[in-house]
Structure 1
Amino acid sequence: MKVSHTTLFPFILILLIFSCKEGTEATQKPQEIKPSTIEAKQKSAQPLSDEFKAYWFDNTAEITSFTLEQARYGEIREGNAVLVFVTEPFLRDEQVKADETTSSDIAVLKLNATKNFNTGIYPYSIMQSVFYPLANNQHALKITASVQEWCGQVYTQLNNRTEFDVASHSYFEGEADENFSMSKTILENELWTQLRINPESLPTGDLKIIPSFEFLRLRHVPFKAYAASAELLAGTYTITYPELNRSLSINFNPQFPFDITSWEETFISGFGDNAKPLTTKATKINTIKSDYWNKTTNNDFPLRESLGLN
């Protein structure tokens, strides 16, 4: 998909500054970015259409809820998943959200992806975050993932610097504390955000891809790039990893804003004699656009009801 670069209209010159931190009033107003600042950010980026700007720079996030059938320990568990996409200014060096926008920060599309499900008596909570620059054919600037359950928790962070710098912490023996660097390659996590900007830019054919951080941690496989093949059809992007006996298919609206409607992930679930191929499925419930960081009162609870998350 090719889009033209045009001058931003004043009413969409807002890039989000969020109050998702302690000590910040929920009514904090977003920072306004001057046209010259946007131009500086986009010199090396793909041109953004007026349609893109109107949708993503409207001072709201896109929140989509999904019913979840999650494979874990050789069984399918019922739960929910949420994808939150939002634009925000990002500091290249510190690799965190910018509190004050300047010409030196980077405009990113951020994805916070969550899953919640139970395994018998105890719950799982998984969150993965991607910070992807508003330009094609670039890697994510930062990816994080955390998994919490009653046995303990794990956390992995990748920073895109000269190389990929990875820090991982886990309560499992052999995974306790790891810090290492690796050559840059395709990251499965970043493809979800790349799809939302321009699905035609997604890589296809025979590739080397680092699988999702969630999969790597839950299956306890080495953190590295694996041989994969990828195919883009009308509204479906599929990745297959022969060595891992795993495939992922993401279904999306082929028309802008390329919203994700469902996905399926097939892999070996369970351990030992209980190991078998199962398919995790997520199906869309609803999508809303909301400045959710300002929706913090009990009166805002109906918004969760609209997402089917009660």
Structure 2
Amino acid sequence: MFIQRNFLFIIMVMAVLLAVAMKATVYQREPVAPPTPSPATTEAFRAYWFGGKAELNTYQLEQAQYGAMHTGEAVLVFVTEDFRVDKQVKAESEASRGVSVPVLKTNYIRRFVTGIYDYSLFTSVFTPIGSPKFPNTLKVSTSGQEWCGHSYVQVNYKDNAYQVSGRSYFEQEVTEDYTVEKAMLEDELWNRIRLDPGKLPTGDVHLIPGTQSARLRHKKLESIPATATLDSAQGVAWTNTHIPGVSVGPCKAYILDYKDDGKSTPGRKLTLIFETAFPHKIVGWEETYTSKEKVLTSRAMLRKTIQSDYWNHNTPADSTLRQALSL
């Protein structure tokens, strides 16, 4: 009778005892840590990337092409700007403000000489900064010029996929228009490192290879599997070996290993070296693949880095500023 009359009371006491045992009462719970702020919202990030200047980097380049190594130079320009999400172009009018997001843009220039003639490759990548509504890189465009002719490819994020449009003087690539399933773009990795290297994917991943690499090797863009690793030891070893005279901080290596499937996807390895501390400067990279039945490694090694509002320095007198970049 006692149990029947006091059943609810007994249940409540047992529930309280269980909660105490499991440390589940409001007095026993561990305080909830506040969410880690996005690096893009920090004062240091905004001071560096929204201070009215671009970051300019020059690199000594060793480029594999035609089964041999060739010398050249590479340039990375990082700058923020407002970007229209509807037309996927730079916002330049007041009317565009309501349809724009801030992006980090990479301009990646690569120039090298093969025998008597030269190559020039130029890639632009537009990645939104801290925008939950637009988490994907919105656009990549790449042009290539050499003495035989020139080519162009553009990749636009649309309808949860990437629309690829290409034009080339090569017969097999003269007109290309196709869709690639959504995946991380290799071309955006430079931006992702600068924005937040802690979010770089590791393990088994799918990526769309870089547009410059695809053009040089005459490969169609597609999402392919790779293994991604992040390694501090390799980052330090790389800088000690390849840029011993350049002042850089501790570095990490982000390594992508594309496996040879024996069919349409040849093996290829890409390694990006960057400083561990903000602003995560890119100090170099290398790319290993087969060229004319030889396994060769292209490599870019940092020479100089400066910040500049370069768009305001376009007179003949400003050409002396190129010396600061060893150009």
**Counterpart amino acid of residue 279 in structure 2:** P
Count of residue pairs brought into register by the alignment: 264
Cα distance in 2 for residues equivalent to 1:256 and 1:126: 28
Give the drift of 1:100: 3.0
**% of aligned pairs identical?**
43
What do residues 169-199 of structure 1 show as CA deviations (whole Å, max 9, x unaligned)?
A: 1111211101112221111001110110000
Cα distance in 2 for residues equivalent to 1:104 and 1:205: 36
Higher RCO (C-alpha 8 Å, min separation 6): 1
Q: Does structure 1 residue 267 correspond to structure 2 residue 260?
A: no
Cα distance in 1 for residues equivalent to 2:141 and 2:36: 30
Q: Say whether the 8 Å CA contact 1:136–1:201 is kept in structure 2.
A: no
- 1:66 maps to what in 2? 59
Cα distance in 2 for residues equivalent to 1:167 and 1:4: 37
Q: Say whether the 8 Å CA contact 1:237–1:250 is kept in structure 2.
A: yes
Q: Does structure 1 residue 238 correspond to structure 2 residue 255?
A: yes
Alignment of 1:1-310 (within 5 A): 4=37, 47-100=40-93, 102-135=97-130, 138-162=135-159, 163-234=161-232, 235-243=252-260, 244-270=266-292, 275-309=293-327
Q: Which deviates further from its counterpart, 170-179 or 57-66?
A: 170-179
Q: Which runs of 5+ in 1 are unaligned?
A: 6-45
The TM-score, its normalising length taken from structure 2, stands at 0.78
**Counterpart amino acid of residue 159 in structure 1:** N
What do residues 116-155 of structure 1 show as CA deviations (whole Å, max 9, x unaligned)?
A: 1100110100011100011388221000111100001111
Cα distance in 1 for residues equivalent to 2:70 and 2:98: 46
**Larger gyration radius, structure 1 or structure 2:** 2
Cα distance in 1 for residues equivalent to 2:36 and 2:131: 12
Cα distance in 1 for residues equivalent to 2:40 and 2:279: 15
The TM-score, its normalising length taken from structure 1, stands at 0.82
Give the drift of 1:303: 1.3
Cα distance in 2 for residues equivalent to 1:76 and 1:136: 41
Cα distance in 2 for residues equivalent to 1:113 and 1:158: 15
Ranges of 4+ aligned residues in structure 1 off by more than 4 Å: none
Q: Say whether the 8 Å CA contact 1:170–1:176 is kept in structure 2.
A: yes
- 2:237 maps to what in 1? none
What do residues 52-101 of structure 1 show as CA deviations (whole Å, max 9, x unaligned)?
A: 00000011100000000011111111110000000000000110000036
- RMSD value over aligned CA atoms? 1.5
Q: Secondary structure at the match of 1:302?
A: helix
Q: Secondary structure at the match of 2:102?
A: strand
Q: Which deviates further from its counterpart, 95-104 or 194-203?
A: 95-104
Q: Secondary structure at the match of 1:52?
A: helix
Q: Which runs of 5+ in 2 are unaligned?
A: 1-34, 233-251, 261-265
Q: Say whether the 8 Å CA contact 2:180–2:223 is kept in structure 1.
A: no
Cα distance in 2 for residues equivalent to 1:255 and 1:3: 17
Cα distance in 1 for residues equivalent to 2:179 and 2:60: 36
Q: Say whether the 8 Å CA contact 2:193–2:200 is kept in structure 1.
A: yes
